[in-house]
Amino acid sequence: MPELPEVEVLRRDLDKETSGKKIKSVEVFDERSIKRNANVKAFVNALEGKKITSVSRTGKWLDLALDKTDHLVIHLGMSGQLLKATPKSEDPDHLKVRLSFTQGGALLFIDPRIFGEMAVLSGEEFAATEDIQDLGLDALDQQISWAEFGRMLMSRRTKLKSLLMDQKFIAGLGNIYSDEVLFNAGLMHDRVSNSLSAQEVRRLYRAVIEVLQEAVKYRGSTLSDGGYVDLFGKPGDYRQYHKVYDREGEACRRCRRPVVKAKISGRSTYYCEACQV
């Protein structure tokens, strides 16, 4: 599943590639991908002839502002992809929506598992959705003091990995980056949030910021399934910098002991028994 860094990479690419472009035509190949809108006709009519003015991000939601006050919002779900296409591009498998531009080219929404979605909403409708109202801290856009972060941790009594993946606590962190953050902070996944010392709080907060920024720098993580690619169809390079995630049995980059994999609450968790306490 694309996490915060992957969505931020797409946001930056989309802002460069689509802002200022007018949507000439819209084709919907699967109505399940636009389920928030009344029907295909309503979705198409809300987009055709509109210009994309800017692209922002709220958690893992992409927000393409339109020149008539509406917003095209996109969530990639488990397997969604956005690809820039040329007039000569062949349609990929699992194509759900195509937006063609008057200047040429198109934006394709691909989604094999159909957990993602596109919707045209007013700004008020988007802000009022439960998905948006419940989002927690955006660690890329809303940096806070480590003291405030510590107060957030102390107010909860939850195992650290579960808390980091709670979208009401931090928006956008998932399985990959929670494991990487905890390794960088030297903390085990099952430590309870209100048990951390002031020094551990600082380490954890710094790790959240640094891991996410590094992941964006290297354009996200593409795993062996190839599920994530950027707007141009290229994989992200951050996987080669992973310290623990997807590295079971390989030497820890810090102490050289084997990285451990455990199944916890149905999810794979990677860690180093020596470097994390």
Which residue in the block uniquely carries the two structure tokens 């390079």?
Answer: 237
- What is 144-197 written as a DSSP string? --HHHHHHHHHT---BHHHHHT-TTTBTT--HHHHHHHHHHHT--TT-BGGG--
Give me 105's structure tokens: 């080219």
Active site residue 3: yes
* DSSP 8-state code for residue 230: -
Confirm if 112 and 95 have CB atoms less than 8 A apart.
Answer: no
Q: Which of 12, 84, 159, 267 is catalytic?
A: 267
Q: In what order do the strands lie in the sheet with 23-28?
A: 23-28, 95-101, 106-110, 81-85
Confirm if 255 and 272 have CB atoms less than 8 A apart.
Answer: yes
Q: What is the tally of helices (H) and strands (E) in the chain?
A: 8, 10
**What does DSSP say about strands 95-101 and 106-110: parallel, antiparallel, or unpaired?**
antiparallel
Confirm if 28 and 85 have CB atoms less than 8 A apart.
Answer: no
Q: Which of 2, 8, 57, 243 is catalytic?
A: 2
Alpha-carbon gap, residue 166 to 175, rounded angstroms: 11
Q: Which of 3, 6, 8, 180 is catalytic?
A: 3
Active site residue 2: yes
Give me 217's structure tokens: 């720098």
Q: Which of 11, 21, 50, 60 is catalytic?
A: 60
Active site residue 48: no
Q: Coil, helix or strand for 218?
A: coil
- Catalytic site positions: 2-3, 60, 267
